[in-house]
Structure 1
Amino acid sequence: MAEDNTSFSEFMDLDHDLDLDTRTCNGVRQEKQLSASQRRGYSLCRRKSFAGFVASKRNSGQEEGDYSWCCCALTFREHSAIHKHVARTHDPEIQRLTQDAYQCLLTQLEEEAETQQLNECEAEPVDISAWIPDTRHISEEQLQKGPGKVLLYYRYCQIEDPHVICAWQRALCEKLHLTGKVRVATEGINGTVGGTNMATDAYIDATRSHPLFKMEKDDFKTSDGGAECFKDLRVGVYKEIVPMGMDPDVVSYQLAGVHLEPEEFHKEVEALLAKADENNDTILLDCRNFYESKIGQFTQCLAPSIRKFSYFPDYVDQNLDLFRDKKVLMYCTGGIRCERGSAYLRSKDVCKEVYQLKGGIHRYLEQFPEGFYRGKLFVFDERYAISSNKDIISECRYCGSPWDRYQLCSTRFCCQLVLSCPGCRQDGRTACCPACQTKGQNQSQAPGPHHKEECECTEGRPRIPQDA
């Protein structure tokens, strides 16, 4: 988008004024509401979507320059012919593809804009060598090869100069050959990193030794994995350490609900389930995204249909009567989203009590692997999920058989996650959009109705996850 000189702020304004995830109006009418630079971005996404759709119809195994396309049981031998056909017949599919691509663009620009803004005034170089551990007793092979794990942690605290902490964390992770993501802000630090056991142990010791954080070893949650669980290393300064979209000075973690240890939370859920047939005043609230709760959740929880955590405040605002005079038991993956989420809920002054699971589902499963949480625990890395029990609570989106392993949509330019069982994937059902036909289908034949991949509603379609 650099060639268009498109400003980040214009795109960000659009994200609030025109939510393409929930709008169902005609694409042309949507485009008319955009500014000139926004229209250029939307137009670019449409051109790419149109080109990708046409490319998916091209017959394979042809010589260079001798192309033909098959669509709707028709064969086209000229570019102009297939273009006219797609424009006249498949506009709804093109609109959906365009909206998905545009929403991905907005999400990307949102994160880039936040990082760019916060890094405009980076601090003067500071000597961080005192915080880098001496690893001469550890060989490079031990740092890069062997059994490993993934760490998940956070710490809310006041950081006067987050750029210094950012530089230290980046240097520390690079020295230890760790991958993952670390978010630093004036309100604290949030990280998930992977590496060998030696490397992650050294990372824990180094982070704990910093005087700002005052962390205990138990503050780092661990699971089997390693550096291969992440594509790369990303360390940056952000406004929030978990993106809720609210100013930390307005809704502070210091206003969070009462923390319950896993044993206490387990007893509360047990009492709630014992009164299942009675009218009770307790709500078990999952404050994660819908694609997380889809594959694993606490029994009889309330799981909002939100795509990212920044939608949580709107969900609360729209359902205040639901929480009025109720005791709320909140939970999330590792506890961090509950810190701000419970603070926001408490700020509305409608609940009788607000509690949160300390350490999140991660800690709960360590003590109660066969407890009241059933199914997989979604994680924000290449594993997508980890498990402690054998329950499968979700199903393949095509055949309905039990299945809970996400994979990326096979459609070009798509960034959705799809629940498709091995049988359906073998049949070519690997995408989330009707514009993508089955891979194994004979291109010269019209697609049968069982090959048409129905689209999930836009409110309920996962994307490549970015926020923990």
Structure 2
Amino acid sequence: MIQNDWLPPPLYPHGLTAASGKLAALPADDTLCAEFVDWDLDTWTRDVIGLKQEKQLSAPQRRRFNLCRRKSFSAFVASKRDECQDQGSPSWRCCGETFRHHSAFHKHAARTHKAEIGRLTQTTYERLLSCLQEEAEAQQLDEREAEPADVSTWIPETAHISEEQLRKGPGKVLLYYRYCQVEDTHVICAWQKALCEKLHLTGKVRLATEGINGTVGGTNTATRLYMDAMRAHPLFKMEEEDFKTSEGGAECFKDMTVGVYKEIVPMGMDPDVLSYQLAGVHLEPEEFHEEVQALLAEGDVGNDTVLLDCRNFYESRIGQFTQCLAPSIRKFSYFPDYVDQNLDLFRDKKVLMYCTGGIRCERGSAYLRSKDVCKEVYQLKGGIHKYLERFPEGFYRGKLFVFDERYAISSNDDVISDCRYCGCPWDRYQLCSTEFCCQLVLSCPACRRDGRTACCPTCRTKGGASHRREECECTDGRPRIPQDA
């Protein structure tokens, strides 16, 4: 449930290695056709990533992007290879045609599938940059951790508690964050690793000089000890109400990860430039409820209030506040661009913002306020989690998406989304059935029995597994039903 735009961890596109963040050489049998190689890189790059971003690319970045383009083309070609053919000359199946000559299929791909290859290139490029950044951050952390820190002072005594109590029994998932100045991030990182290991917790904790953001799961005993330890640490000054809890446990996460990052929620904005201290006014759940009630009572007549969902489209699709504005963004790092492109929606308006636990609103409201177009900017304190504790049958309808193996939790019986194939009411996510695809699919039991388990037409095609992509046709927030469904 940590607010970091998590979907099940993506594997890397063809040729990109997780260990090094580097792109492997092109396979010998994937020589690129002249038509693809001769594309106007400047024009094509601008089409894919936009004029604003293209101007910001340095020469090394452009070289990396060009290599990603070539690797993505190679991956697309490999995905269309017809493996059912008898031994002999290779062939490729695409768009209902069979291509028996390498160059002929490359020309077809370059002319017809430019947009799809562009999306894969963008994904590969973003993943490469992310790997390089994580490597740099890890290296800095390793350098600072050369001298181990003594964190025993802040580790609770558990001699009176059995391993059985820490490992087995009913459990919880905790979600929390705290913005504060953290000078020695490597010391806090070492403490968190030792603390979570001792309590047998799983989940993820993000640390930065601007604070801490975590979601952990474990037994009731373990999570209680964790909260006590967090509250006892003088740096964070946390209270019990700062933790959002839900039923779960260590089984809700695959493992425990603690790391140091630039931001505790990945917005893509330097915390030194856009500080959480510029955030909007915090409203308690009762106050937020009254504001939403007044908004709904007004209807469309003289309405000067915008109820803004700061989450991603796969979250708002299965649950949201009545009459909200839900941006079609896949990651929170796209939120600034959404605001920039839609300033008129917020001009001279009062904005009520909300997210899962409150952390995205801290930075999101700060960014919106920096544009100086709104009359007022408010945010739901504690997020949807705290609102549902107070108003389980309130104005938030449907399920609450969470960033762990559960995918969603609920407080009411409303189903506001539907199966992407047949359109019947359905709101339970499952992973796309295509190997290596990390998208989530709303596919009802009947459609799943019929084999309709892929997230989009591209993933349904033979060989789609080799794309290993983080983005595909369904990630624009408006998934399309395959024609053969």
* Alignment TM-score, normalising by the size of structure 1: 0.81
Matched, 1:109 2:128: yes
* Residue in structure 1 matching 2:65, options 26, 38, 58: 38
Relative contact order higher in (CA < 8 Å, ≥ 6 apart): 2
Give the CA deviation at 1:317.
1.6
Matched, 1:276 2:292: no
CA distance in 2, matches of 1:276, 1:166: 49
Q: Structure 2: which amino acid aligns with 1:155? A: R
Kindly provide the CA deviation profile for residues 16-55 of structure 1, in whole angstroms up to 9, marking residues without a partner as x: x9588777xxxxxxxxx9844433333333333433443x
Matched, 1:432 2:455: yes
State the partner residue of 1:256.
279
CA distance in 1, matches of 2:353, 2:176: 18
User: Does structure 1 conserve the Cα–Cα contact (< 8 Å) formed by 2:217 and 2:250?
Assistant: yes
Kindly provide the CA deviation profile for residues 36-89 of structure 1, in whole angstroms up to 9, marking residues without a partner as x: 4433333333333433443xx6459x9xx799999589998xxx8497886576
Matched, 1:163 2:186: yes
Give the CA deviation at 1:420.
1.3
SS in 1 for 2:457: coil
CA distance in 1, matches of 2:272, 2:370: 13
User: Does structure 2 conserve the Cα–Cα contact (< 8 Å) formed by 1:114 and 1:238?
Assistant: no
CA distance in 1, matches of 2:101, 2:458: 14
Matched, 1:381 2:399: no
State the partner residue of 1:10.
none
Kindly provide the CA deviation profile for residues 409-463 of structure 1, in whole angstroms up to 9, marking residues without a partner as x: 1223322222111111111111133244489xxxxxxxxxxxxxxx84652279x
State the partner residue of 1:26.
none
State the partner residue of 2:12.
none
User: Does structure 1 conserve the Cα–Cα contact (< 8 Å) formed by 2:353 and 2:378?
Assistant: yes
Structure 1 residues 85, 256: CA separation in 2 closer, same or farther (over 3 Å shift)? same
SS in 1 for 2:406: coil
Extract unaligned runs of 5+ from structure 2: 1-15, 24-40, 51-59, 463-471, 480-485
SS in 2 for 1:152: strand
Extract unaligned runs of 5+ from structure 1: 8-13, 24-32, 440-454, 463-468
Q: Structure 1: which amino acid aligns with 2:281? A: V
CA distance in 2, matches of 1:199, 1:102: 44
SS in 2 for 1:312: helix
State the partner residue of 2:253.
230
Q: Structure 1: which amino acid aligns with 2:350? A: K
State the partner residue of 2:54.
none
Give the CA deviation at 1:344.
1.1
Matched, 1:190 2:213: yes
Kindly provide the CA deviation profile for residues 154-205 of structure 1, in whole angstroms up to 9, marking residues without a partner as x: 0000111111111111111112111111110011000011111111111111
Structure 1 residues 126, 20: CA separation in 2 closer, same or farther (over 3 Å shift)? farther
* Residue in structure 2 matching 1:323, options 341, 346, 351: 346
- Percentage of matched positions with identical amino acids: 68
State the partner residue of 1:406.
429
Structure 1 residues 176, 354: CA separation in 2 closer, same or farther (over 3 Å shift)? same
Q: Structure 1: which amino acid aligns with 2:349? A: K
Structure 1 residues 209, 93: CA separation in 2 closer, same or farther (over 3 Å shift)? farther
> What does 1:113-152 correspond to in 2, within 5 Å?
113-119=132-138, 120=140, 121-123=143-145, 124-152=147-175
User: Does structure 2 conserve the Cα–Cα contact (< 8 Å) formed by 1:294 and 1:394?
Assistant: yes
Kindly provide the CA deviation profile for residues 276-295 of structure 1, in whole angstroms up to 9, marking residues without a partner as x: 14121111111111111111
Give the CA deviation at 1:357.
0.4
Matched, 1:305 2:328: yes
User: Does structure 2 conserve the Cα–Cα contact (< 8 Å) formed by 1:69 and 1:75?
Assistant: no
CA distance in 2, matches of 1:430, 1:361: 30
Aligned residues: 424
User: Does structure 1 conserve the Cα–Cα contact (< 8 Å) formed by 2:388 and 2:411?
Assistant: yes
Across the aligned residues of Structure 1 and Structure 2, the Cα RMSD in angstroms comes to 3.4
Structure 1 residues 204, 85: CA separation in 2 closer, same or farther (over 3 Å shift)? farther
State the partner residue of 2:270.
247
Give the CA deviation at 1:348.
1.5
Matched, 1:459 2:476: yes
> What does 1:71-82 correspond to in 2, within 5 Å?
81=100
CA distance in 1, matches of 2:422, 2:89: 34
Give the CA deviation at 1:97.
5.9
User: Does structure 1 conserve the Cα–Cα contact (< 8 Å) formed by 2:77 and 2:109?
Assistant: no
* Residue in structure 2 matching 1:335, options 351, 358, 363: 358
CA distance in 1, matches of 2:380, 2:20: 47
CA distance in 2, matches of 1:368, 1:22: 42
Kindly provide the CA deviation profile for residues 124-159 of structure 1, in whole angstroms up to 9, marking residues without a partner as x: 321111111111222222222221111100000011
CA distance in 2, matches of 1:328, 1:103: 32
Structure 1 residues 148, 83: CA separation in 2 closer, same or farther (over 3 Å shift)? farther
User: Does structure 2 conserve the Cα–Cα contact (< 8 Å) formed by 1:299 and 1:374?
Assistant: yes
SS in 2 for 1:376: strand
SS in 2 for 1:247: coil
User: Does structure 2 conserve the Cα–Cα contact (< 8 Å) formed by 1:290 and 1:304?
Assistant: yes
CA distance in 2, matches of 1:225, 1:82: 55
Give the CA deviation at 1:117.
2.5
Kindly provide the CA deviation profile for residues 373-416 of structure 1, in whole angstroms up to 9, marking residues without a partner as x: 00111111111111111111111111111111111112233222
Comparing 325-334 with 136-145, which one deviates more in the overlay?
136-145
Comparing 370-379 with 34-43, which one deviates more in the overlay?
34-43
Comparing 361-370 with 142-151, which one deviates more in the overlay?
142-151
User: Does structure 1 conserve the Cα–Cα contact (< 8 Å) formed by 2:22 and 2:128?
Assistant: no
Structure 1 residues 49, 290: CA separation in 2 closer, same or farther (over 3 Å shift)? same
CA distance in 1, matches of 2:221, 2:89: 55
